[in-house]
């Protein structure tokens, strides 16, 4: 019987572009646009500036592009910088089977290795597609127990997706790819305890850099145990369901199509609540001055992740039901980056409103759902929202493009999107990267 690593290696090495469903490729391209947008917008964040400062001082062979500067860096350093930068705003995509943010580990590694190797657009896309899908499947294999034990799945599962994508682009053979996965198993790390700090985006950067490092070492003949991935699972509280369950329909059904793109600039655990609350406040009868109480119900698991009751900083606000709900109720745009500031956390009208909001766990709600009850002098209204409710692909495309336009400007967003849609015919990534380099946050 084939093992999980063997099946993923086969999938990532052998799947041709012709076998990729158009819907999966479109979703991947939308995630790539979304990733470029949040990365460019995040270049001036403190975590982004600090990581560039450190890596630029180290210098090295100029192999790959880095957001926020013209100086190129070695592939591993570029992956670390770009992974950190693209997660700095916490505005990147989420996959609930993966239980993390696949793009911020996968795309920085794939992009850096593609630049290093001079890969074509089609080669880059297929490495990204198979690595992304593998990352989601490995997240499924690690399961909820791994996450609940305190591990940040973006960093752990993300390391393996990054490794598999980089392995394909670098041309590793089966044995070498197995060694790379083994080395990634030793390198993979990242804790949820970093949420609300610069350490959280650093986790994404680490995962991308780990993937590059493991592949480069394996290419040079560095070896490891092929049993390392299962050993990692055993040592890190992974659920590890049967391989047949995790890999069902691998190559024919792409779970990456269920990725959730963020349309609020905060933790994805808050989004179902914000979508539900948005529907309520759009009603003609809503008046915040008549609000007596707002009751928020969510799956209890989120209470440990994004329930900071009285945040003091903009970073903490991204993990607060009460703060983001108060922002939305007062007409503040939760999709705007500038809304998540230290000053707004102290604003008297917002802090007063927070005191009217309660957050409780409800085990009947899935991870992707929330229920809000608004009590006012005019009566009581209740509504539930589930992020898993199907969003038509064309509607998703419009919302992702609109988000990119908001972050970058319409002309810049459309220029990047044109290059992404044409990638399958591109001999390399130069034109795409030149278009990106012209944009400044």
Q: Is residue 215 within 8 Å of 63, Cβ to Cβ?
A: no
Spell out the residues 6+ positions from residue 142 whose beta carbon is closer than 8 angstroms to its own: 99, 151, 153, 156, 157, 233, 236, 238, 239, 240
What is the residue whose two structure tokens read 């069902």?
A: 248
Neighbours of 433 (CB within 10 A): 16
Would you state the structure tokens that stand for residue 303, as one six-digit string?
């209470």
User: Residue 183: its pLDDT value, please?
Assistant: 98
- What pLDDT tens digit does each residue of the chain (441 aa) get? 468 999 999 999 999 999 999 999 999 999 999 999 999 999 999 999 999 999 999 999 999 999 999 999 999 999 999 999 999 988 999 999 999 999 999 999 999 999 999 999 999 999 999 999 999 999 999 999 999 999 999 999 999 999 999 999 999 999 999 999 999 999 999 999 998 799 999 999 999 999 999 999 999 999 999 789 999 999 999 999 999 999 999 999 999 999 999 999 888 899 999 999 999 888 867 888 999 999 999 999 899 889 999 999 998 998 999 999 999 999 998 988 889 999 999 999 999 999 999 999 999 999 899 999 999 988 899 999 999 887 899 999 999 999 999 899 999 999 999 999 999 999 999 999 999 999 976
For residues 84 and 401, give the distance between their C-alpha atoms in angstroms, rounded to a whole number. Answer: 23
Would you state the structure tokens that stand for residue 99, as one six-digit string?
């239980």
User: Residue 441: its pLDDT value, please?
Assistant: 63
H/E/C letters for each residue in the chain? CCCHHHHHHHHHHHCCHHHCCHHHHHHHHHHHHHHHHHHHHCCCCHHHHHHHHHHHHHCCCCCECCCCCCCCECHHHHHHHHHHHHHCCCCCCEECCCCECCHHHHHHHHHHHHHHHCCCHHHHHHHHHHHHHHHHHHHHHHHHHHHHCCECHHHHHHHHHHHHHHHHHHCCCHHHHHHHHHHHHHHCCCEHHHCCCCHHHHHHHHHHHHHHHHHHHHHCCCCCCCCHHHHHHHHCCCCCCCHHHHCCCCCCCCHHHHCECCCCCCCHHHHHHHHHHHHHHCCCCCCHHHEEEEEEEECHHHHHCCECCCCCCHHHHCCEHHHHHHHHHCCCCCCCHHHCCHHHHHCHHHHHHHCCEEEEECCCCCCCEEEEEEEECCEEEEEEEECCCCCCHHHHHHHHHHHHHHHHCHHHHHHHHHHHHCHHHCCCCHHHHHHHHCCCC
Q: How far is CA 259 from CA 64, 81, 103, 323, in A?
A: 27, 24, 10, 26
Q: What CATH fold (topology level) applies to the domain 268-386?
A: 60s Ribosomal Protein L30; Chain: A; (3.30.1330)
User: Residue 272: its pLDDT value, please?
Assistant: 96
Q: How far is CA 424 from CA 22, 116, 119, 371, in A?
A: 12, 18, 11, 42
User: Residue 37: its pLDDT value, please?
Assistant: 97
Q: What are φ and ψ of residue 292, in 5° steps?
A: -105, -40
The model scores a pTM over 0.95: no
User: Residue 2: its pLDDT value, please?
Assistant: 63
Neighbours of 193 (CB within 10 A): 12
For residues 41 and 279, give the distance between their C-alpha atoms in angstroms, rounded to a whole number. Answer: 28
Q: Is residue 112 within 8 Å of 212, Cβ to Cβ?
A: yes
The structural domains of the chain, with segments of one domain joined by +, span: 4-260+393-437, 268-386
User: Domain spanning 4-260+393-437 has what CATH number?
Assistant: 1.10.4100.10
For residues 76 and 187, give the distance between their C-alpha atoms in angstroms, rounded to a whole number. Answer: 13
Length of the chain: 441
């Amino acid at each position: 019987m084939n093992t999980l690593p063997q099946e993923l290696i086969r999938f990532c090495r052998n799947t041709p572009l012709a076998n990729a469903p158009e819907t999966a490729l479109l979703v991947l391209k939308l995630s790539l646009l979304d990733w470029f947008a949040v990365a460019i917008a995040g270049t001036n964040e403190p975590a982004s500036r600090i990581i560039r400062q450190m890596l630029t001082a180290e210098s090295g062979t100029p192999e790959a592009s880095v957001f926020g500067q013209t100086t190129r860096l070695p592939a591993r350093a570029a992956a670390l910088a770009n992974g950190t930068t693209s997660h700095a705003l916490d505005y990147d995509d989420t996959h609930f089977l993966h239980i993390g943010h696949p793009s911020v580990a996968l795309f920085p590694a794939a992009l850096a290795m593609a630049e290093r190797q001079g890969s074509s657009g089609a080669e880059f896309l297929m490495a990204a597609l198979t690595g992304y899908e593998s990352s989601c499947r490995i997240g499924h294999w690690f399961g909820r127990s791994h996450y609940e034990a305190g591990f940040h799945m973006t960093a752990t599962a993300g390391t393996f997706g990054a490794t598999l994508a980089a392995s394909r682009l670098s041309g590793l053979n089966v044995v070498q790819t197995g060694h790379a996965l083994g080395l990634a198993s030793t390198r993979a790390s990242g804790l949820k305890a970093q949420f609300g700090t610069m350490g959280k985006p650093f986790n994404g950067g680490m995962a991308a850099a780990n993937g590059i490092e493991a592949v480069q070492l394996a290419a040079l003949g560095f070896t490891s145990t092929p049993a390392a991935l299962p050993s990692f699972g055993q040592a890190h509280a992974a659920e590890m369901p049967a391989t047949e369950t995790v890999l069902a329909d691998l190559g024919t059904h792409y779970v990456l199509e269920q990725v959730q793109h963020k349309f609020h600039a905060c933790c994805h655990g808050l989004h179902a609540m914000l979508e539900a609350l948005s529907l309520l406040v759009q009603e003609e009868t809503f008046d915040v001055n008549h609000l007596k109480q707002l009751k928020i119900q969510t799956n209890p698991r989120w209470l440990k992740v994004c329930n900071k009751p009285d945040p003091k900083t903009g970073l903490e606000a991204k993990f607060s039901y009460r703060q983001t709900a108060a922002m939305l109720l007062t007409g503040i745009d939760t999709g705007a980056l500038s809304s998540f500031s230290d000053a707004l956390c102290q604003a008297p009208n917002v802090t007063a409103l927070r005191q009217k909001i309660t957050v409780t766990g409800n085990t009947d709600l899935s991870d992707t759902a929330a229920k809000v009850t608004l009590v006012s002098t005019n009566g009581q209204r209740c509504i539930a929202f589930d992020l898993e409710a199907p969003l038509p692909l064309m509607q998703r495309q419009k919302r992702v493009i609109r988000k990119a336009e908001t972050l970058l400007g319409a002309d810049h967003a459309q220029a990047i999107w044109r290059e992404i849609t044409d990638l399958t015919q591109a001999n390399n990534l130069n034109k795409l990267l030149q278009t990106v380099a012209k944009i400044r946050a």
